[in-house]
Amino acid sequence: MTIRPIWNTQGVAKSALVLVGIFVSGLAAVAGSAQPGTFTLTGSMNTARSNHTATLLPTGEVLVTGGLGANGVYSVLASAELYDPKKGKWSVTGSMSVVRTDFTATLLQNGEVLVAGGTDYAIHCWATSELYDPSTGQWRPTGSMTQPRCLHSATLLPNGDVLVSGGVNSVYNNSNPTVASSEIYNPSTGEWTATGSLNDDRASAATLLLESGEVLTAGGYSNVGNGAVNTYLTSAELYNPSTGAWSLTTSMLPGASLPSTPVLLSNGDVLIADDHQFYDPTTATWTATGALPTGVGLWNATILDNGEVLATGSLCKSSKFYSCTPTPVSFLYSVSGNSWSQTGSMSYVLSYATMTLLPSGDALVAGGRTRNLGTLSLAELYTP
């Protein structure tokens, strides 16, 4: 059993329990100064980790939290650390009260970070949540969710509340059931309250706040009524904060599997890079993007300051499962041309990493795992 994460551009990390075969190559060192469109190594983390979360703080630092350590699925972490872009170095900060992976991390309007749910892979998912205060470098408990969740989505709403939806409520109970329920976290009270449920129970969905203030969730998987068998979804729906209700919208194009990072484009559309399609909220339609080289599957994406989208991960996608050799090549998506072009290669081929756009315009890729080298503490920067 392998864990596949999906990240969003708001610093939220999610992962799905799916059977995948991943082939990765070793580490290739990168020397010299950064050149445009290239990756260069930066300071390494203090702890090797994958399946973690990465959150850009108002200070410009990046908070990396939890995930899986060097011993894989049985080594879930509670530790956290900070990346200082000015120094290119990592420093240890306060640890969470419990170990977590498959959880979410959301930057609140007051600058604190809310982590919710997740699991230690022992028995169940957590309902607990806690807050990181950048001014003290410490975590403190806050209210617990109305039910345990792993592999769920978390979205900061315009009013400062956090919407959590879907996921699974248990890890190792054979059926690993997905859920449709949603709830709201109020930072001023520290309490969670139930809100409208999804039309389709789903986990590991692509979820993003639209310019309209609605929340789009698309794809993911469901296994209710199927035991441990996952059904990949193409359905999509919208959450209206004013009514607290979800409504179905047009389904994704056929062939969608577990979606990668959803990215809000400069024109208000939503790009899901891995499935090579985008959603237009004004017409409620999905459209295919320009073609990529045959077999390429994109894993991680973020929008750059120039409006282009950097997509990395470079997992070779031959079907819903991964069974071909990946390369470290990354791609840029042009909104105006609806086309992809090749850009710099990562210094190592990995999965389960995070990617964060820094105030400088560079993108930080941190941690991850390779087949040959295991879990890594390395990090690198993409200079556009």
pLDDT band (50, 70, 90) for residue 52? very high
Q: What is the pLDDT of residues 165-221, one digit of tens each?
A: 999 987 655 567 899 999 999 999 999 999 999 999 999 999 999 999 999 999 999
What share of the chain in percent tops pLDDT 70? 79
Comparison of pLDDT for 305 and 22, the residue scoring more: 305
Span 316-372, pLDDT tens digits: 554 443 444 556 778 899 999 999 988 998 877 677 889 999 999 999 999 988 766
Q: How far apart are alpha carbons 302 and 8 in whole angstroms?
A: 8
Does the pLDDT at position 18 exceed 70? no
Tokens of 172: 């190792």
CA distance 301 to 299: 7
Least Cα distance to 199 among 227, 163, 236 occurs for 236
Alpha helices by DSSP H, listed for 136-226, are none
Predicted local distance difference test score (pLDDT) of residue 368 = 87
Question: Are the beta carbons of 251 and 235 closer than 8 angstroms?
Answer: yes
What is the per-residue pLDDT across 217-269, written as a single tens digit (0 to 9) for each?
999 999 865 555 778 899 999 999 999 999 999 999 987 666 678 999 999 99
| Pick from 65, 111, 61, 54: nearest CA to 86 | 61
**208: helix, coil or strand?**
strand
CA distance linking residue 330 with residue 343, whole number of Å? 6
Give the tens place of pLDDT for each residue, 74-85. 799 999 999 999
pLDDT digits (tens, 9 = 90+) for 91-100: 999 999 999 9
Sorted by where each starts, the structural domains of the chain and their CATH numbers stand as 2-40+49-383 (2.120.10.80)
Q: How many residues does the chain have?
A: 384
Do 73 and 83 touch, CB atoms closer than 8 A?
no
Instruction: Indicate the burial class of 89 (C-beta count within 10 angstroms; 0-12, 13-18, 19 or more).
Output: middle
> Which three-class secondary structure state does DSSP give residue 282?
coil
pTM for the whole structure: 0.87
Which residues are within 8 A (CB) of 225 and not within 5 positions of it... i.e. 6 or more apart? none
Rounded to an integer, the average pLDDT of 311-318 is: 62
pLDDT class for 136, splitting at 50, 70, 90? very high
